[in-house]
Chain A
């Protein structure tokens, strides 16, 4: 969810006043490129029906994007907020026609055009008038008191055009949610298929064998007690194997240690099962919601499994903490590096699972190492439960 931008710490008054004056100067200078971009786009758009306009658009649009982005940044700085997201990126290597279509479909394009018009008229006037104020000695006083209201006014005007509106943000969010929901449904269906197959090939098959052994033993008791004993012994071995299968299935669905000890304890348990020393450090004052906890657990399990399989590392570490409403987990190793989520299915799978909770997974893994995987999921922690002191590794 594009969270409402948090106000930044207010900067020193005079400094920001000077900086705003600098912005005004820059905005006056940017008048020409903005005007040019607007004219190119307007004329190019009108002529695009007869193809002639396309080259004009190919120059005008990037120029418009560029000046708009400069203003977006300046406006955000004036208001002390985060820079709102700009237009959607066009994939590299997209042919001109495809790019134009993408631009046309992005509401930001139309916003920027409208903005350009406003910018070369009202905006320009405001910035210029303001600069004149600054230059005049008599009007210095006005400059002293007027900078902030005037420039903030202009900034708001710019952002009115240059930031996605509420509806558009909601539309984007809906698109995102639709996609992650489809992923979650796919994932759940695949999981169920996997569990069904595991049970069918494992425990179920063994129970069939078990009942056969017992049936044969029952018949053999009267005639051949020695053979009956051997069959019962077989049956016991098969039972053990079936139980092992069931345990593995359960671990794959919801590991008991996660239920018992929460994320920190369960990751500690994972670390103990790895053939290299793994340092686990967790400062989680409570437990995240169960689905988030489970997704994070399986993601960390995948990262640790990868370290065991691919990294050749001598040491690994896991760090977990919760701050500013975000649960962050960092899994690192001092191995060979070169991890590429695109090269397998493991990391991509858990990434999709995290995405359902607006979670992200970032992989930094230069060749030669180290590999550092950062997981972030926005969530609240439930009130602290008395957790047993975990043994540090």
Chain B
């Protein structure tokens, strides 16, 4: 899979390139500023992007903006956004930029190489990956609709779905059978009034509803 990588710190850029290449990704463009990123994202050969939020020239949130713009130009273009810190506000903006194919993670998560690579793959194939820290922040708002309608167990399952885990992984984490997880997920879909369609899209929609976007 051919990726665009944007990261202004040379150390991290080299590290990420090595890491992703070791996991079978091809780095098409590795850039270090917003202007070069815009150019790289316009390359039709790019299949997905891994972006840092804070980059030159203003060192604020140009990576995030570039991601949102890229997804406007190419709806559904998979983007994994990395940052030194995460904000539920940014997660909402990012997830509002089209259904699915979005990831938002703390940079530290890269240290779990296998899980990070799996996350990028998941995003590239249309799924969502949300950092556990954002998930925890959203979880704290349990008084709100539509979360209120869910049982604590269902909320836990939804949180894990938001982090991008598969049914098998959720089952393993919660020490229950996969069938039990599937049952919870169905209950979540029903309670959130999500129309029946292909399973993966419903998963994404459930996460979006939960983020209230």
Query: CB of B96 within 8 A of chain A?
Result: yes
The dominant DSSP class at the B interface is: loop
B positions within 8 Å CB-CB of A: 54, 60-61, 65, 84-85, 87-90, 92-93, 96, 106-108, 111-112, 137, 140-144, 213
Whether the Cβ atoms of B89 and A269 lie closer than 8 Å is yes
Chain A interface size, under 10 / 10 to 19 / 20 to 34 / 35 or more: 20 to 34
Query: CB of A149 within 8 A of chain B?
Result: no
Query: CB of A48 within 8 A of chain B?
Result: no
Most chain A Cβ neighbours within 10 Å, of B89, B93, B96, B108: B89
Whether the Cβ atoms of B85 and A268 lie closer than 8 Å is no
Query: A residues within 8 A CB of B144?
Result: 277
User: How far apart are A334's CB and chain B's nearest CB, in angstroms?
Assistant: 14
Task: Please report the C-alpha to C-alpha distance between residue A380 and residue B173 in the assembled complex, in whole angstroms.
Answer: 53
Query: CB of A93 within 8 A of chain B?
Result: no
Query: B residues within 8 A CB of A260?
Result: 60-61
User: Contacts A239-B108, A240-B108, A391-B89: A247 and B61 contacting too (C-beta < 8 A)?
Assistant: no
Query: CB of A388 within 8 A of chain B?
Result: yes
Task: Please report the C-alpha to C-alpha distance between residue A329 and residue B41 in the assembled complex, in whole angstroms.
Answer: 40
A273 to chain B: closest residue by CB:
B137
Query: A residues within 8 A CB of B89?
Result: 257, 261, 265, 268-269, 272, 391
Query: CB of A243 within 8 A of chain B?
Result: yes
User: Contacts A243-B108, A273-B140, A388-B65: A257 and B87 contacting too (C-beta < 8 A)?
Assistant: yes
A 48-63 binary contact with B (CB < 8 Å = 1; else 0): 0000000000000000
User: How far apart are B157's CB and chain A's nearest CB, in angstroms?
Assistant: 20
Task: Please report the C-alpha to C-alpha distance between residue A60 and residue B144 in the assembled complex, in whole angstroms.
Answer: 64
Whether the Cβ atoms of A256 and B54 lie closer than 8 Å is yes
User: How far apart are A116's CB and chain B's nearest CB, in angstroms?
Assistant: 62
A235 to chain B: closest residue by CB:
B111
Query: A residues within 8 A CB of B143?
Result: 275-277, 314
Whether the Cβ atoms of A259 and B93 lie closer than 8 Å is no
Most chain B Cβ neighbours within 10 Å, of A244, A273, A314, A388: A273
Query: A residues within 8 A CB of B112?
Result: 236
A 297-333 binary contact with B (CB < 8 Å = 1; else 0): 0000000000000000010000000000000000000
B212 to chain A: closest residue by CB:
A393
User: How far apart are B168's CB and chain A's nearest CB, in angstroms?
Assistant: 23
Query: CB of A174 within 8 A of chain B?
Result: no
B213 to chain A: closest residue by CB:
A391
Query: CB of A46 within 8 A of chain B?
Result: no
Query: B residues within 8 A CB of A240?
Result: 108, 111
A308 to chain B: closest residue by CB:
B140
The dominant DSSP class at the A interface is: helix
Task: Please report the C-alpha to C-alpha distance between residue A236 and residue B93 in the assembled complex, in whole angstroms.
Answer: 31
Query: B residues within 8 A CB of A197?
Result: none
Query: A residues within 8 A CB of B87?
Result: 257, 269, 272
Task: Please report the C-alpha to C-alpha distance between residue A274 and residue B213 in the assembled complex, in whole angstroms.
Answer: 17
Whether the Cβ atoms of A247 and B85 lie closer than 8 Å is yes
Task: Please report the C-alpha to C-alpha distance between residue A388 and residue B107 in the assembled complex, in whole angstroms.
Answer: 24
Task: Please report the C-alpha to C-alpha distance between residue A247 and residue B61 in the assembled complex, in whole angstroms.
Answer: 17
Query: CB of A251 within 8 A of chain B?
Result: yes
Whether the Cβ atoms of B137 and A272 lie closer than 8 Å is yes
Query: CB of A250 within 8 A of chain B?
Result: yes
User: How far apart are B65's CB and chain A's nearest CB, in angstroms?
Assistant: 7
Query: B residues within 8 A CB of A277?
Result: 141, 143-144
Most chain B Cβ neighbours within 10 Å, of A250, A256, A259, A391: A256
Task: Please report the C-alpha to C-alpha distance between residue A86 and residue B85 in the assembled complex, in whole angstroms.
Answer: 52
Whether the Cβ atoms of A247 and B141 lie closer than 8 Å is no
B91 to chain A: closest residue by CB:
A272
The contact sample of 29 A-B pairs, CB cut-off 8 A, is: A236-B111, A236-B112, A240-B108, A243-B107, A247-B84, A247-B85, A250-B85, A256-B54, A256-B85, A257-B90, A259-B60, A261-B89, A265-B89, A269-B87, A272-B88, A272-B89, A272-B141, A273-B140, A274-B140, A274-B141, A275-B140, A275-B141, A275-B143, A276-B141, A276-B143, A277-B141, A388-B93, A391-B89, A391-B93
User: How far apart are A12's CB and chain B's nearest CB, in angstroms?
Assistant: 53
A240 to chain B: closest residue by CB:
B108
Whether the Cβ atoms of B92 and A272 lie closer than 8 Å is yes
Query: A residues within 8 A CB of B85?
Result: 247, 250-251, 256
Most chain B Cβ neighbours within 10 Å, of A251, A272, A391: A272
Task: Please report the C-alpha to C-alpha distance between residue A163 and residue B96 in the assembled complex, in whole angstroms.
Answer: 59
A251 to chain B: closest residue by CB:
B85
